[in-house]
Copies of this chain bind each other. A is one copy, B any other.
Amino acid sequence: MNDLAKLKKDLDGLEVEDNPQIVKQKSRDFFWYSPVLKRQLDHVTADLVVTPKSEEEVIQVLKACFAHDVPVTTRGAGTGNYGQAMPLSGGVVLNLAALNEVLEISPGVVRAQAGAIMAAIDEAARPGGQELRMHPSTYRTATVGGFIAGGSGGVGSINWGGLRDLGNIISLKVATMEAEPRILHMKGEDLHKVSHAYGTNGIILEVEVPLTAAYDWVDVIVGFDEFMDGVHFADALANQDGILTKEIAPVAAPVPHDYFLRHQKYLRKGQSVVLLMVAPFAMDAFLAFASRFRAASICYRSDVGRPEERKGLPPVYELAWNHTTLRGLRVDPTITYLQVLYPFPDYVEKVGRMTRLLGDEVPGHLEFVRFDGKITCFGLPIVRYTSEERLNEIIRLHEDHGCPIFNPHRYTLEEGGMKQTDAVQLAFKREADPKGLLNPGKMIAWEDPDFDFSAQKTYLFPGLAR
């Protein structure tokens, strides 16, 4: 009996999938946003997918995999797009989709199992007038545990910053990968150990996150002839302290008309837009603000007109964040994108410079956010992809102009992030995953402690199964 057969025996009674086609499908995320990751990871698959129904079953899986030295890669809904949830060395995909209970809601707080869908959490919170502070554009499918393990911010970050900020996660319940897995309760500074660690050093079982006031947000699209007019408008609006918005995203022509197909009737070809979610009671103030800008014309408002006209339109947040690129890919599968930080205080100027420099090869897409107390913007520009070489050149151009890139064409934590070892996460991996079985290949600091981040070389995980 080989290890896998022995493992299966230990998993008796659990929901285990070994049909290769289904296993492969559950071993993938949205990595194909990147032509680079598509080339590197397309073949990746686990041996088994296990779907535990309870914490006890999760512990059973971890104990069995530890005993047989089988890697475990945790999966939420698989909506990440850096291969976070892809099992580079095979083994088990631990699918937490069935741990989806919303456990407790109180003023300002929700406690839920890691596999709870974010929209489902809001559905449970909304009768009490509450909703999550922030969510990705994959709100209707993504799990809260996956967001914390692999996301950074999203819709709502204009008010609350990112997941890395103290206060945006209250506590986490985490299982370790040991002979006898421990259950840890983390809060405060400890949260950094496992949040945004791709499940490399612990299994998030339960999350406690803050809620804020829920409103029937009004979707608004404002049109501009010039992208930079839209950027200035968005920046001024983001700095209005009294006008409550949840989303402010300028998108350069030709993206809106060409890629937002279901909204196309509201958009002119060649028109740039700013995508907005505005609190309903802030609409009068917003309209007063907007009328100060001659260049701004309101193309679409979800709070006026006949409801049947709006039927079939996706919410505006499904045009924004990573959905902008997704809609682009549906029209033109050759495109890809980047992730840029335009640092405060001259972020608008930097956007202008990169826009002039790269033109239609890199149509702009910005997301305004709070970052260390200031308004600034992230970029998720579309890239008309020609080659990896040119893509790296575009990355270098951004960095040469003071705009750091969080590279979405890399599957490791470090290369997609700060390009340096995270000592806290590494130390916790030593403690919680001594055999290195959790999501192998994603934390360079563990796999290759001598890796030189300054050498500008891509890390290639030697354990990447072929």
Contacts and interface: CB of A to CB of B under 8 A. Distances in A.
A167 B278 CA distance: 11
Interface string A203-229: 000000010111110000000000000
A285 interface: yes
A449 interface: no
B373 A238 contact: yes
B244 A210 contact: yes
Interface string A355-389: 00000000000000011111100000000000000
A243 B165 CA distance: 8
A372 B210 contact: no
A239 B373 contact: yes
Given A108-B215, A108-B280, A241 B372 contact: yes
Interface string A274-286: 0000011110111
Contacts of A167: 240-244, 282, 285-286
A174 B371 CA distance: 40
* Copies of this chain present: 2
A130 interface: yes
A162 B167 CA distance: 25
A166 interface: yes
B129 A189 contact: no
A314 interface: no
A115 B372 CA distance: 39
A366 to B, nearest CB: 16
B240 A285 contact: no
Interface string A284-311: 1111110100000000000000000000
A188 interface: yes
A213 B108 contact: yes
A352 interface: no
Interface in A138-168: 159-162, 165-168
A240 B280 contact: no
A160 B212 CA distance: 15
A283 B162 CA distance: 18
A107 interface: yes
A109 interface: yes
A222 B281 CA distance: 36
A4 interface: no
13 contacts: A108-B244, A128-B129, A129-B129, A159-B241, A166-B240, A166-B289, A167-B240, A188-B285, A189-B291, A210-B282, A240-B373, A241-B371, A345-B345
Given A107-B281, A188-B284, 5 more contacts: A108-B279, A165-B240, A165-B242, A188-B287, A189-B291
Interface of A: 107-109, 128-130, 159-162, 165-168, 170-171, 187-189, 210, 212-216, 238-244, 279-282, 284-289, 291, 345, 370-375
Q: What are the 5 A-B residue pairs with the smallest beta carbon separation, nearest first?
A: A239-B373, A161-B241, A167-B242, A188-B288, A165-B242
